[in-house]
Chains A and B, each alone.
Chain A
Amino acid sequence: MSTNKVIHAIYTDDDILMDAVKASRAAHHHIEEVYTPFPVHGLDKAMGLAPTRIAIASFLYGVVGLTVAANLLNYIMIVDWPQDIGGKPSFAFYQNLPAFVPVLFELTVFFAAHLMVITFYLRSRLWPFKQAENPDVRTTDDHFLMEVAVNGNEEDMISFFKNTGAVEVKVIDKH
């Protein structure tokens, strides 16, 4: 436990990476992170990551947006100043509902979309002046990098990752 060392295994093909991830999980090596230049289909499942809940969040934001829009329209058009505008019935919310629907819809979508995006930024810690966390610049172009915590015999681990098809295996001291 005394070590902050991690292994960086670098691959050049996403199929080999997938196999390596599966082999590492089978050998009970703890995968800290995988860096890829593009989304690799099925990688999250292979790594055993929990499914995202952002869709649930978005649904709830949509409900909030609908509520905001309904209260806004009801207060302005029905409660505060129920003026007769072109003969539209402003006696009750439901009577003028069709005219409100475009606003109800748009605000629902607006809240659902924007708040979801903001949630995504917060949860993945992304902001304009953020320091890039890139361990190797090649991972943004054509290389795949798997970071595994060193645990037990270092030499054994290096040979294990060499056997998974890595083109390069490095031991890095973190922090």
Chain B
Amino acid sequence: MYTFSNKLKTFAFVLMALGLLGIAYGFLTAPKTTADVEKILAESHHDGHHTAAPAHAEAVKAIEEVKDAAVHGEKVSDSAVATLAATVEAHADSTATHADTTHAAVAHANKAPHNDAHKAEAHHGAEADAHKEHEAHLEHVLHQLQNKPWAALYVACIFFLLISVGVLAFYAIQWAAQAGWSPVLFRVMEGITAYLLPGSIIFLILLVLSGMHMNHLFAWMAEGVTDPKSEHYDAIIAGKSGFLNVPFFLGRAIVFLLGWNLYRHFSRKNSLAQDNATDDSFYKKNFKMAAGFLAFFIVTESISSWDWIMSVDPHWYSTLFGWYVFASFFVSGITTIAFVTLYLKSKGYLEFVNTSHIHDLAKFMFGISVFWTYLWFSQFMLMWYSNIPEEVTYFVTRIEHFKLPFFGMVVMNFVLPILILINTDFKRLTWVIVMAGIIILTGHYIDFFNMIMPATVGDQWFIGVSEISSLLFFFGLFIFVVFTALTKSPLLAKRNPLIEESKHFHY
């Protein structure tokens, strides 16, 4: 039997406490009004955008000149205005961060020719327009900043939930495939999937809170989007409202999570019952249940990835998205199995696990990393190649505002694992697996970050207190739940028909 070491337990509690503090801090410091946003934006202009500032100033000067000309009653020739507008636009290009402000400016400049008669009202009208646009911009940024702590919580929550789901899928595959190497690891996998229940409860609460309009994570949940009379009416979302509506959405989530949890509960129960059985009836039951679960899982996993991840971008769709998300959390799950196994092995709890078992897990980490990359690239390249505006915007926003995380994760999830884990001898070395595993897990957190953040916080993203604290909190909870579950039963399945083969497995 495994005993939860006090050190690790304290570590988990510290993580949870720190995480909770950070999460609370994130929510308390989120801006409440547009006035707060104005202050934040002013500060960030001051700090971060020195390079952009001069160009911006020039653009403003050019506009001033046009305005002066108009006010003084000079005939401003169209061509002159056009040249100025072009300069302004060029500047606008170079100052992407000021896009909204400069857009207002360009609109202003374009108005100038119509102001030939230098009507004071027209001039005021233009200013009023700019003002309105500025207000709209502030409102937009406010929503993004208010989303930030929510999105941070959501990403960390779904990441750890899906890790345990990935382990559950791997576990079911091992049963259904009657794998001869893995039964010595079954109790480790069952321990990790214990996180599924608390994880799905917290996740479901987050979804319900979103459905109750506590946040703006899901644009399609906002009020008025499906109402043609509302100013927020969105015909595209309204067209999808047969699928994307809150009751159906929550109902689906409950069914999916319930199905997964039920499989986890009964397969664990049968697996334990098999220990003291006199025949293999529980083994057979688990075999059949695993096959049934896998069929249920692949359908529900696909739909849940549309629901929980793709629907934050309700205008965008991709057919291989479900597979892509699956590959991402499947490889994270396998890496987690390797980590927990290596930890327990180093503490002397897994007598029959040898380097061949580790080698097999590392091969899976390697292979599924490549599979993830294949799907990532297929999705990216097909959209990049055809460049259809309605679907390519997904990648345009990511490459424009998330350049480092977007391409950095390809390096972390593909280039580094393929170079580190390609060597057979390396796949048997604990420190190499740990190193590669940390890279893979971090990379796939960033993958989920890249899926959620661009639609919820946009260019206001940052990996700061909110994001790290949410990650720490769920990491602490994960450690606590998983290692508590590991203490509940012996770490070696006893009467599994394949256990002898697994004990002597060597590659």
Residue B384 contacts which of A55, A59, A98 (CB distance < 8 angstroms)?
Answer: A98
Indicate if the CB atoms of A59 and B422 lie closer than 8 Å.
Answer: yes
Complex alpha-carbon distance, A99 and B381, angstroms? 7
Q: Does A79 contact B (CB under 8 A)?
A: no
Whether A101 lies near B381 (C-beta < 8 A) is yes
Specify which chain A residues have a CB less than 8 angstroms from the CB of B424 in the assembled complex. 55
| B363 smallest CB distance to A (angstroms) | 14
Chain B min CB distance to A92 (Å):
15
Residues of B within 8 A of A59 (CB): 422
| Chain B CB within 8 A of A128 CB | no
Residues of B contacting A: mostly: helix
A87 touches B380 (CB 8 A): no
- Encode contact with A along B351-388: 1 for CB under 8 Å, 0 otherwise: 00000000000000000000000000100110011010
CB distance from B245 to the nearest CB of A (A): 36
Number of A-B contacts (CB under 8 A): 12
CB neighbours of B422 from chain A (8 A): 59
Across the interface, which residues of B come within 8 angstroms of A101, CB to CB? 377, 381
Contact A98 B387 (CB under 8 A): no
B355 to chain A, nearest CB (A): 15
A99 vs B424: C-alpha distance when bound (angstroms): 32
CA A87 to CA B389, docked complex, whole Å: 14
| Chain B: minimal CB distance from A18 (Å) | 15
With the chains together, A108 CA to B384 CA distance in Å? 23
Contacts of B381 in A (CB 8 A): 98-99, 101
Q: Report A24-62 residues with CB < 8 Å from chain B CB.
A: 55, 59
Q: Is the CB of B385 within 8 A of A99?
A: yes
Q: Is the CB of B387 within 8 A of A87?
A: yes
Within the assembled complex, what's the spacing in Å between the Cα atoms of A81 and B176?
A: 55
* Docked complex Cα distance between A87 and B380 (Å): 17
A87 and chain B: residue at smallest CB distance: B387
Q: Please, how many angstroms separate the alpha-carbon atoms of A55 and B424 in the complex?
A: 10
Contacts from B to A (Cβ < 8 Å): 377, 380-381, 384-385, 387, 422, 424
Q: What are 12 A-B pairs with beta-carbon distances under 8 A?
A: A55-B424, A59-B422, A87-B387, A98-B377, A98-B380, A98-B381, A98-B384, A98-B385, A99-B381, A99-B385, A101-B377, A101-B381
